[in-house]
A and B are shown apart, each in its own frame.
Chain A
Amino acid sequence: MIEIENVRKSFGQLEVLKGINLTVQKGEVLTIIGGSGSGKSTLLTCINGLETIDAGRIVVDGTDVHAKGTDLNKLRRKLGIVFQQFNAFPHLTVLENVMLAPVKVLGQSKAEAEAMAVKQLTHVGLGDKLKVYPSRMSGGQQQRMAIARALAMSPAYMLFDEVTSALDPQLVGEVLDTLRMLASEGMTMICVTHEMKFAREVSDRVAFFHKGVMAEIAPPEELFGAPKDPELKTFLAATH
Protein backbone atom coordinates (compact mmCIF):
# COMPACT_ATOMS: atom_id res chain seq x y z
CA MET A 1 0.00 0.00 0.00
CA ILE A 2 1.24 3.47 -0.87
CA GLU A 3 -0.08 6.16 1.45
CA ILE A 4 0.43 9.78 0.49
CA GLU A 5 -0.55 12.17 3.25
CA ASN A 6 -0.78 15.91 2.79
CA VAL A 7 2.42 16.06 0.73
CA ARG A 8 3.83 19.45 -0.12
CA LYS A 9 6.78 20.17 -2.36
CA SER A 10 8.26 23.41 -3.67
CA PHE A 11 11.03 24.20 -6.10
CA GLY A 12 12.20 27.57 -4.83
CA GLN A 13 9.20 29.89 -4.84
CA LEU A 14 7.09 27.54 -6.92
CA GLU A 15 4.85 25.19 -4.94
CA VAL A 16 4.46 22.16 -7.17
CA LEU A 17 2.52 19.87 -4.82
CA LYS A 18 0.02 21.61 -2.57
CA GLY A 19 -1.06 18.98 -0.07
CA ILE A 20 -1.69 15.74 -1.90
CA ASN A 21 -3.67 12.96 -0.17
CA LEU A 22 -3.88 9.64 -1.92
CA THR A 23 -3.81 5.95 -1.05
CA VAL A 24 -3.05 3.26 -3.58
CA GLN A 25 -4.04 -0.28 -2.61
CA LYS A 26 -2.24 -3.45 -3.58
CA GLY A 27 -3.41 -4.58 -7.01
CA GLU A 28 -4.85 -1.21 -7.93
CA VAL A 29 -4.19 0.56 -11.20
CA LEU A 30 -4.25 4.31 -10.75
CA THR A 31 -3.71 6.67 -13.61
CA ILE A 32 -2.88 10.31 -13.19
CA ILE A 33 -3.85 12.84 -15.81
CA GLY A 34 -3.43 16.60 -15.87
CA GLY A 35 -1.85 19.49 -17.68
CA SER A 36 1.82 20.18 -18.12
CA GLY A 37 3.49 21.36 -14.91
CA SER A 38 0.69 20.15 -12.66
CA GLY A 39 3.11 18.10 -10.52
CA LYS A 40 2.51 14.57 -11.81
CA SER A 41 6.15 13.66 -12.42
CA THR A 42 7.21 15.33 -9.20
CA LEU A 43 4.80 13.16 -7.22
CA LEU A 44 6.22 9.97 -8.74
CA THR A 45 9.81 10.97 -8.00
CA CYS A 46 8.80 11.85 -4.44
CA ILE A 47 7.27 8.39 -4.02
CA ASN A 48 10.56 6.65 -4.77
CA GLY A 49 12.59 9.24 -2.91
CA LEU A 50 14.43 10.69 -5.90
CA GLU A 51 12.99 14.01 -4.73
CA THR A 52 12.59 15.18 -1.16
CA ILE A 53 9.32 16.57 0.19
CA ASP A 54 8.73 19.67 2.29
CA ALA A 55 5.75 18.48 4.35
CA GLY A 56 3.53 15.46 4.85
CA ARG A 57 4.47 11.80 4.53
CA ILE A 58 4.69 9.08 1.94
CA VAL A 59 4.51 5.58 3.37
CA VAL A 60 5.18 2.48 1.27
CA ASP A 61 4.24 -0.79 2.94
CA GLY A 62 4.74 0.79 6.32
CA THR A 63 8.06 2.45 5.48
CA ASP A 64 8.14 6.23 5.63
CA VAL A 65 10.05 7.10 2.44
CA HIS A 66 11.42 10.42 3.62
CA ALA A 67 12.17 9.52 7.23
CA LYS A 68 15.81 9.93 8.31
CA GLY A 69 16.79 6.29 8.75
CA THR A 70 15.09 4.94 5.63
CA ASP A 71 17.32 2.92 3.31
CA LEU A 72 16.17 4.38 0.01
CA ASN A 73 18.29 2.03 -2.08
CA LYS A 74 16.51 -0.88 -0.46
CA LEU A 75 13.09 0.73 -0.73
CA ARG A 76 13.55 1.41 -4.44
CA ARG A 77 13.86 -2.32 -5.10
CA LYS A 78 10.15 -2.63 -4.56
CA LEU A 79 9.28 0.51 -6.54
CA GLY A 80 9.95 0.06 -10.24
CA ILE A 81 9.86 3.28 -12.23
CA VAL A 82 9.94 3.90 -15.96
CA PHE A 83 10.41 7.36 -17.38
CA GLN A 84 9.46 9.16 -20.54
CA GLN A 85 13.07 8.96 -21.75
CA PHE A 86 13.96 5.30 -22.17
CA ASN A 87 17.27 5.56 -20.31
CA ALA A 88 18.70 2.43 -21.89
CA PHE A 89 22.28 1.87 -20.79
CA PRO A 90 23.93 2.18 -24.22
CA HIS A 91 27.10 0.28 -23.37
CA LEU A 92 25.22 -2.87 -22.37
CA THR A 93 23.25 -5.33 -24.46
CA VAL A 94 19.53 -5.70 -23.83
CA LEU A 95 20.17 -8.77 -21.67
CA GLU A 96 22.95 -7.02 -19.72
CA ASN A 97 20.75 -3.94 -19.22
CA VAL A 98 18.16 -6.09 -17.49
CA MET A 99 20.66 -8.24 -15.53
CA LEU A 100 22.74 -5.38 -14.14
CA ALA A 101 20.70 -4.35 -11.10
CA PRO A 102 19.63 -7.86 -10.04
CA VAL A 103 23.32 -8.87 -9.99
CA LYS A 104 24.80 -5.71 -8.46
CA VAL A 105 21.95 -4.62 -6.20
CA LEU A 106 20.20 -7.85 -5.25
CA GLY A 107 23.36 -9.94 -5.35
CA GLN A 108 21.82 -12.58 -7.60
CA SER A 109 24.08 -15.02 -9.42
CA LYS A 110 24.60 -14.42 -13.15
CA ALA A 111 22.61 -17.53 -13.99
CA GLU A 112 19.71 -16.55 -11.75
CA ALA A 113 19.64 -13.00 -13.11
CA GLU A 114 19.88 -14.18 -16.68
CA ALA A 115 16.97 -16.58 -16.27
CA MET A 116 14.87 -13.75 -14.82
CA ALA A 117 15.99 -11.30 -17.51
CA VAL A 118 15.15 -13.71 -20.32
CA LYS A 119 11.76 -14.33 -18.73
CA GLN A 120 10.94 -10.63 -18.42
CA LEU A 121 12.27 -9.73 -21.86
CA THR A 122 10.27 -12.54 -23.43
CA HIS A 123 7.24 -11.29 -21.52
CA VAL A 124 7.51 -7.84 -23.11
CA GLY A 125 8.18 -9.36 -26.52
CA LEU A 126 11.93 -8.88 -26.74
CA GLY A 127 13.00 -12.50 -26.40
CA ASP A 128 14.80 -12.31 -29.75
CA LYS A 129 16.77 -9.14 -28.92
CA LEU A 130 18.88 -10.36 -26.00
CA LYS A 131 22.29 -9.77 -27.56
CA VAL A 132 21.37 -6.52 -29.30
CA TYR A 133 22.62 -3.10 -28.18
CA PRO A 134 19.87 -0.54 -27.42
CA SER A 135 21.03 1.79 -30.21
CA ARG A 136 19.88 -0.88 -32.67
CA MET A 137 16.32 -0.82 -31.37
CA SER A 138 13.28 1.37 -31.92
CA GLY A 139 12.01 3.67 -29.18
CA GLY A 140 9.14 1.29 -28.47
CA GLN A 141 11.53 -1.61 -28.05
CA GLN A 142 13.83 0.43 -25.81
CA GLN A 143 10.88 1.44 -23.67
CA ARG A 144 9.72 -2.15 -23.34
CA MET A 145 13.26 -3.08 -22.36
CA ALA A 146 13.15 -0.40 -19.65
CA ILE A 147 9.93 -1.97 -18.37
CA ALA A 148 11.51 -5.44 -18.32
CA ARG A 149 14.54 -3.99 -16.53
CA ALA A 150 12.32 -2.61 -13.78
CA LEU A 151 10.28 -5.83 -13.57
CA ALA A 152 13.44 -7.94 -13.19
CA MET A 153 13.82 -6.47 -9.70
CA SER A 154 10.48 -8.08 -8.80
CA PRO A 155 8.99 -4.80 -7.60
CA ALA A 156 5.75 -4.66 -5.69
CA TYR A 157 4.75 -1.42 -7.41
CA MET A 158 5.37 0.03 -10.83
CA LEU A 159 5.38 3.76 -11.53
CA PHE A 160 5.12 4.88 -15.14
CA ASP A 161 5.75 8.49 -16.09
CA GLU A 162 4.37 9.22 -19.56
CA VAL A 163 6.19 6.24 -20.97
CA THR A 164 4.70 6.72 -24.43
CA SER A 165 5.18 10.47 -24.77
CA ALA A 166 8.57 10.29 -26.48
CA LEU A 167 7.45 7.62 -28.95
CA ASP A 168 6.46 7.89 -32.58
CA PRO A 169 2.68 7.44 -32.79
CA GLN A 170 2.92 4.03 -34.46
CA LEU A 171 5.02 2.72 -31.54
CA VAL A 172 2.71 3.86 -28.75
CA GLY A 173 0.42 0.85 -29.11
CA GLU A 174 3.03 -1.80 -28.37
CA VAL A 175 4.07 -0.11 -25.13
CA LEU A 176 0.48 0.45 -23.99
CA ASP A 177 -0.20 -3.22 -24.70
CA THR A 178 2.63 -4.10 -22.37
CA LEU A 179 1.13 -1.92 -19.64
CA ARG A 180 -2.31 -3.45 -20.22
CA MET A 181 -0.78 -6.89 -19.84
CA LEU A 182 0.83 -5.93 -16.52
CA ALA A 183 -2.43 -4.44 -15.28
CA SER A 184 -4.34 -7.58 -16.17
CA GLU A 185 -1.77 -9.63 -14.27
CA GLY A 186 -2.57 -7.72 -11.11
CA MET A 187 0.50 -5.47 -10.89
CA THR A 188 -0.03 -2.44 -8.67
CA MET A 189 0.59 0.53 -10.94
CA ILE A 190 0.56 4.29 -10.96
CA CYS A 191 0.59 5.55 -14.54
CA VAL A 192 0.97 9.17 -15.46
CA THR A 193 -0.38 9.39 -18.98
CA HIS A 194 -1.84 11.56 -21.70
CA GLU A 195 -3.53 8.55 -23.32
CA MET A 196 -7.15 9.03 -22.23
CA LYS A 197 -8.46 5.94 -23.96
CA PHE A 198 -5.85 3.85 -22.17
CA ALA A 199 -6.63 5.49 -18.82
CA ARG A 200 -10.32 4.76 -19.27
CA GLU A 201 -9.64 1.09 -20.08
CA VAL A 202 -7.11 -0.02 -17.50
CA SER A 203 -7.68 2.17 -14.46
CA ASP A 204 -9.43 1.33 -11.27
CA ARG A 205 -9.30 5.02 -10.48
CA VAL A 206 -8.20 8.10 -12.37
CA ALA A 207 -6.79 11.17 -10.63
CA PHE A 208 -6.81 14.61 -12.22
CA PHE A 209 -4.01 16.97 -11.18
CA HIS A 210 -4.23 20.70 -11.64
CA LYS A 211 -1.59 23.17 -10.48
CA GLY A 212 -0.29 20.98 -7.69
CA VAL A 213 -3.69 19.93 -6.42
CA MET A 214 -5.47 16.63 -6.95
CA ALA A 215 -8.67 18.24 -8.17
CA GLU A 216 -10.64 15.07 -8.70
CA ILE A 217 -10.29 11.32 -8.26
CA ALA A 218 -12.85 8.75 -9.31
CA PRO A 219 -13.36 5.51 -11.22
CA PRO A 220 -12.89 6.12 -14.96
CA GLU A 221 -16.58 5.89 -15.95
CA GLU A 222 -17.38 8.57 -13.41
CA LEU A 223 -14.39 10.84 -14.00
CA PHE A 224 -14.69 10.76 -17.77
CA GLY A 225 -18.48 10.32 -17.87
CA ALA A 226 -19.53 12.91 -15.33
CA PRO A 227 -16.60 15.16 -14.43
CA LYS A 228 -17.35 17.59 -11.61
CA ASP A 229 -14.29 19.81 -11.41
CA PRO A 230 -14.55 22.72 -13.87
CA GLU A 231 -10.82 22.52 -14.68
CA LEU A 232 -11.22 18.83 -15.44
CA LYS A 233 -14.10 19.60 -17.77
CA THR A 234 -11.95 22.10 -19.64
CA PHE A 235 -9.05 19.65 -19.71
CA LEU A 236 -11.16 16.82 -21.08
CA ALA A 237 -12.78 19.05 -23.67
CA ALA A 238 -9.33 20.09 -24.88
CA THR A 239 -8.01 16.54 -25.16
CA HIS A 240 -10.90 15.19 -27.20
Chain B
Amino acid sequence: MFSYNFHWNQAFKALPQMLDGALVTLQIALLSMAIGLVVALALTLFRLSGNRILNGFATVWVEIARNTPALFQIYMAHFGLGSFGIHLSPYTALLVGIAFNNAGYLAENFRGALKAIPETQTRAGRSLGMTPLQAFRYIVMPQMLRIAFLPATNQMVWAILMTSLGVTVGMNTDLAGVTQALNAVSFRTFEFFALAAVIYYVIAKAVTLAARLAATRMFRY
Protein backbone atom coordinates (compact mmCIF):
# COMPACT_ATOMS: atom_id res chain seq x y z
CA MET B 1 0.00 0.00 0.00
CA PHE B 2 0.96 3.57 -0.51
CA SER B 3 2.08 4.63 2.92
CA TYR B 4 4.34 7.64 2.46
CA ASN B 5 2.99 10.82 4.08
CA PHE B 6 4.00 13.98 2.31
CA HIS B 7 5.31 16.80 4.47
CA TRP B 8 5.66 19.66 2.06
CA ASN B 9 5.67 22.25 4.87
CA GLN B 10 9.10 21.20 5.97
CA ALA B 11 10.40 21.47 2.43
CA PHE B 12 8.87 24.88 1.87
CA LYS B 13 10.35 26.16 5.13
CA ALA B 14 13.75 25.23 3.77
CA LEU B 15 13.07 27.04 0.50
CA PRO B 16 15.13 30.18 1.31
CA GLN B 17 18.11 27.98 2.15
CA MET B 18 17.67 26.08 -1.08
CA LEU B 19 17.39 29.27 -3.11
CA ASP B 20 20.67 30.44 -1.59
CA GLY B 21 22.10 27.14 -2.80
CA ALA B 22 20.59 27.77 -6.23
CA LEU B 23 22.49 31.05 -6.42
CA VAL B 24 25.76 29.23 -5.74
CA THR B 25 24.82 26.71 -8.43
CA LEU B 26 24.15 29.47 -10.94
CA GLN B 27 27.37 31.22 -9.99
CA ILE B 28 29.47 28.10 -10.56
CA ALA B 29 27.72 27.43 -13.86
CA LEU B 30 28.28 30.98 -15.11
CA LEU B 31 31.91 31.09 -13.98
CA SER B 32 32.61 27.68 -15.46
CA MET B 33 31.12 28.82 -18.77
CA ALA B 34 33.18 31.99 -18.80
CA ILE B 35 36.37 30.04 -18.11
CA GLY B 36 35.33 27.30 -20.53
CA LEU B 37 34.73 29.85 -23.27
CA VAL B 38 38.14 31.45 -22.92
CA VAL B 39 39.88 28.06 -22.80
CA ALA B 40 37.84 26.79 -25.76
CA LEU B 41 38.94 29.79 -27.81
CA ALA B 42 42.54 29.06 -26.88
CA LEU B 43 42.10 25.38 -27.81
CA THR B 44 40.57 26.45 -31.13
CA LEU B 45 43.58 28.66 -31.87
CA PHE B 46 45.87 25.77 -30.88
CA ARG B 47 44.10 23.58 -33.40
CA LEU B 48 44.39 26.23 -36.11
CA SER B 49 48.01 27.03 -35.30
CA GLY B 50 49.44 24.21 -37.39
CA ASN B 51 51.75 23.41 -34.48
CA ARG B 52 51.63 19.67 -33.78
CA ILE B 53 52.20 19.94 -30.05
CA LEU B 54 49.55 22.61 -29.51
CA ASN B 55 47.13 20.78 -31.79
CA GLY B 56 47.79 17.51 -29.97
CA PHE B 57 47.25 19.16 -26.59
CA ALA B 58 43.90 20.56 -27.74
CA THR B 59 42.82 17.24 -29.22
CA VAL B 60 43.63 15.31 -26.05
CA TRP B 61 41.75 17.85 -23.95
CA VAL B 62 38.65 17.66 -26.16
CA GLU B 63 38.77 13.84 -26.32
CA ILE B 64 38.96 13.43 -22.53
CA ALA B 65 36.34 16.09 -21.84
CA ARG B 66 33.84 14.53 -24.22
CA ASN B 67 34.50 10.84 -23.69
CA THR B 68 34.84 10.42 -19.94
CA PRO B 69 32.14 10.92 -17.29
CA ALA B 70 31.83 14.43 -15.90
CA LEU B 71 31.89 12.82 -12.47
CA PHE B 72 35.38 11.49 -13.24
CA GLN B 73 36.53 14.93 -14.38
CA ILE B 74 35.35 16.52 -11.14
CA TYR B 75 36.92 13.70 -9.11
CA MET B 76 40.22 14.27 -10.89
CA ALA B 77 40.07 17.99 -10.07
CA HIS B 78 39.56 17.16 -6.41
CA PHE B 79 41.25 13.87 -5.56
CA GLY B 80 43.42 13.52 -8.65
CA LEU B 81 45.14 16.88 -8.27
CA GLY B 82 45.13 16.24 -4.52
CA SER B 83 47.48 13.32 -4.95
CA PHE B 84 49.91 15.69 -6.69
CA GLY B 85 49.79 17.97 -3.68
CA ILE B 86 47.38 20.44 -5.29
CA HIS B 87 44.46 20.63 -2.88
CA LEU B 88 41.40 22.38 -4.25
CA SER B 89 38.37 23.15 -2.10
CA PRO B 90 35.18 21.38 -3.17
CA TYR B 91 33.96 24.65 -4.69
CA THR B 92 37.11 25.19 -6.75
CA ALA B 93 37.38 21.53 -7.72
CA LEU B 94 33.79 21.54 -8.94
CA LEU B 95 34.40 24.76 -10.86
CA VAL B 96 37.59 23.42 -12.44
CA GLY B 97 36.00 20.08 -13.33
CA ILE B 98 33.00 21.67 -15.03
CA ALA B 99 35.12 24.32 -16.76
CA PHE B 100 37.32 21.51 -18.12
CA ASN B 101 34.24 19.77 -19.48
CA ASN B 102 32.76 22.99 -20.90
CA ALA B 103 36.00 23.89 -22.66
CA GLY B 104 36.10 20.51 -24.41
CA TYR B 105 32.53 20.64 -25.61
CA LEU B 106 32.70 24.29 -26.62
CA ALA B 107 35.94 23.72 -28.54
CA GLU B 108 34.19 20.94 -30.44
CA ASN B 109 31.22 23.25 -31.13
CA PHE B 110 33.65 25.82 -32.46
CA ARG B 111 35.29 23.26 -34.69
CA GLY B 112 31.93 22.41 -36.21
CA ALA B 113 31.06 26.09 -36.61
CA LEU B 114 34.37 26.79 -38.38
CA LYS B 115 33.51 24.21 -41.03
CA ALA B 116 30.54 26.35 -42.01
CA ILE B 117 32.70 29.43 -42.64
CA PRO B 118 34.28 29.42 -46.10
CA GLU B 119 38.07 29.66 -46.36
CA THR B 120 37.52 32.59 -48.74
CA GLN B 121 36.50 34.75 -45.77
CA THR B 122 39.98 34.44 -44.31
CA ARG B 123 41.51 35.00 -47.74
CA ALA B 124 39.51 38.19 -48.16
CA GLY B 125 40.80 39.42 -44.81
CA ARG B 126 44.40 38.48 -45.59
CA SER B 127 44.07 40.25 -48.94
CA LEU B 128 43.21 43.44 -47.06
CA GLY B 129 46.53 43.17 -45.21
CA MET B 130 45.30 41.46 -42.06
CA THR B 131 47.51 39.06 -40.15
CA PRO B 132 46.11 35.53 -39.69
CA LEU B 133 45.19 36.43 -36.11
CA GLN B 134 43.41 39.62 -37.17
CA ALA B 135 41.46 37.75 -39.83
CA PHE B 136 40.43 35.21 -37.19
CA ARG B 137 39.60 37.80 -34.57
CA TYR B 138 37.56 40.19 -36.70
CA ILE B 139 36.13 38.01 -39.46
CA VAL B 140 36.02 34.34 -38.52
CA MET B 141 35.49 34.41 -34.77
CA PRO B 142 32.35 36.58 -34.73
CA GLN B 143 30.72 34.26 -37.26
CA MET B 144 31.91 31.20 -35.36
CA LEU B 145 30.48 32.48 -32.07
CA ARG B 146 27.16 33.13 -33.70
CA ILE B 147 26.91 29.66 -35.18
CA ALA B 148 28.03 28.08 -31.91
CA PHE B 149 25.83 30.23 -29.69
CA LEU B 150 22.76 28.03 -29.39
CA PRO B 151 24.73 24.79 -28.95
CA ALA B 152 26.67 26.66 -26.28
CA THR B 153 23.45 27.39 -24.38
CA ASN B 154 22.86 23.65 -24.21
CA GLN B 155 26.28 23.37 -22.61
CA MET B 156 25.30 26.08 -20.12
CA VAL B 157 22.24 24.04 -19.12
CA TRP B 158 24.45 20.99 -18.87
CA ALA B 159 26.86 22.97 -16.66
CA ILE B 160 24.01 23.88 -14.30
CA LEU B 161 23.01 20.23 -14.01
CA MET B 162 26.63 19.08 -13.63
CA THR B 163 27.04 21.21 -10.50
CA SER B 164 24.89 18.62 -8.68
CA LEU B 165 27.87 16.23 -8.96
CA GLY B 166 29.65 18.46 -6.45
CA VAL B 167 28.14 16.48 -3.56
CA THR B 168 30.54 13.68 -4.42
CA VAL B 169 33.53 15.86 -3.55
CA GLY B 170 31.96 17.30 -0.43
CA MET B 171 30.33 20.39 -1.92
CA ASN B 172 27.57 21.49 0.48
CA THR B 173 26.69 25.07 -0.43
CA ASP B 174 25.15 24.60 -3.89
CA LEU B 175 21.57 23.51 -4.49
CA ALA B 176 22.35 19.80 -4.52
CA GLY B 177 24.64 20.10 -1.51
CA VAL B 178 22.08 22.04 0.53
CA THR B 179 19.34 19.61 -0.45
CA GLN B 180 21.50 16.66 0.50
CA ALA B 181 22.25 18.18 3.91
CA LEU B 182 18.57 18.91 4.57
CA ASN B 183 17.68 15.38 3.59
CA ALA B 184 20.28 13.95 5.92
CA VAL B 185 18.66 15.54 8.98
CA SER B 186 14.99 15.22 8.00
CA PHE B 187 14.72 12.16 5.76
CA ARG B 188 12.02 13.96 3.72
CA THR B 189 13.85 12.70 0.68
CA PHE B 190 11.08 12.97 -1.89
CA GLU B 191 9.91 16.46 -0.94
CA PHE B 192 13.36 18.01 -0.84
CA PHE B 193 14.60 16.46 -4.01
CA ALA B 194 11.37 17.17 -5.87
CA LEU B 195 11.61 20.81 -4.86
CA ALA B 196 15.29 20.91 -5.88
CA ALA B 197 14.40 19.36 -9.24
CA VAL B 198 11.79 22.06 -9.82
CA ILE B 199 14.36 24.76 -9.02
CA TYR B 200 16.92 23.19 -11.40
CA TYR B 201 14.25 23.03 -14.07
CA VAL B 202 13.27 26.68 -13.63
CA ILE B 203 16.89 27.87 -13.76
CA ALA B 204 17.63 25.77 -16.85
CA LYS B 205 14.54 27.04 -18.66
CA ALA B 206 15.22 30.64 -17.67
CA VAL B 207 18.78 30.41 -18.99
CA THR B 208 17.64 28.93 -22.30
CA LEU B 209 15.03 31.62 -22.71
CA ALA B 210 17.41 34.42 -21.80
CA ALA B 211 19.93 33.07 -24.31
CA ARG B 212 17.33 32.99 -27.10
CA LEU B 213 16.40 36.57 -26.33
CA ALA B 214 20.02 37.66 -26.20
CA ALA B 215 20.67 35.92 -29.52
CA THR B 216 17.94 37.83 -31.35
CA ARG B 217 19.27 41.12 -29.96
CA MET B 218 22.93 40.36 -30.65
CA PHE B 219 22.76 38.77 -34.08
CA ARG B 220 20.90 41.10 -36.37
CA TYR B 221 22.22 39.84 -39.68
Contacts and interface: CB of A to CB of B under 8 A. Distances in A.
Interface of A: 48, 50, 73-74, 76-77, 79-81, 83, 85, 87, 89-92, 100-101, 104-106, 133-135, 146, 149-150, 153
Nearest to B137: A104
Most buried by A among B123, B134, B139, B143: B139
A133 B131 contact: no
A135 B129 contact: no
A105 B130 contact: yes
B120 A87 contact: yes
Contacts of B138: 100, 104
Contact of A91 (B126, B127, B221): B221
A80 B129 CA distance: 9
Contact of A76 (B126, B139, B142, B143): B126
A90 B143 contact: yes
Interface residues of B, number: 21
Contacts of B118: 85
A3 B121 CA distance: 28
A50 B143 contact: no
Given A74-B129, A105-B128, A91 B123 contact: no
Contacts of A79: 127
Given A100-B138, A104-B138, A133-B220, A91 B146 contact: yes
A91 B134 contact: no
Contacts of A149: 128
A48 B219 CA distance: 33
B124 interface: yes
A100 B125 CA distance: 9
Interface string B130-170: 11001000110011001000000000000000000000000
